[in-house]
Amino acid sequence: MHCLYHSCEFSAAHYYRDADLSAHENEKKYGPYHRVHGHNFRVTLGLKGELDPGSGMLINFYDIHELVEEQIIRPFDIQTINDADPWFREHLPSTENLALYFYNRLKPLIPPGITLFSVEVAENSEFSSRFEP
């Protein structure tokens, strides 16, 4: 079994608000994070499987780069995450929910024989969240 990690970065804004709370209640609950603010997010995928005997690779780097570009970078870079996908109208765009969302978005697109075993999302050097099913 071999493990491979692929990271990408995108810049996006988000905010934390509960629709059923007033602006004052949201500010009290989420502090300054109830306002629109941005991060340079870093997403790291953990993949594992057996190496292809012909190429000696788990997955072609070009293929995983294209998948990440299509599924993460293009839809979310320079966007407000709350508006980038309807799922985030019902779920806060926290690092925890972003990791779960990216896992669910990517898992069905990973080639057979390869397991997506983790997705980590970091919004800065202090805070990150890793989803491991």
- 105: domain CATH number? 3.30.479.10
The tens digit of pLDDT for each residue in 51-73 reads 999 999 999 999 999 999 999 99
Q: What digits encode the pLDDT tens for the residues 10-29?
A: 999 999 999 999 999 999 99
Q: Which two tokens mark 74?
A: 């293009």
Residue 98's domain spans which residues? 2-131
Instruction: Measure CA of the first residue to CA of the last residue in the chain; give whole Å.
Output: 18
Q: Is the full-model pTM beyond 0.85? A: yes
- What does the alpha-carbon distance between residue 121 and residue 107 come to, in Å, rounded to a whole number? 16
In the chain, the DSSP E strands lie at: 2-14, 37-49, 79-80, 114-122, 128-131
The total domain count for the chain is: 1
What is the separation of C-alpha 28 from the centre of its chain, rounded to a whole number of angstroms?
Answer: 27
- pLDDT tens digits for 32-51? 999 999 999 999 999 999 99
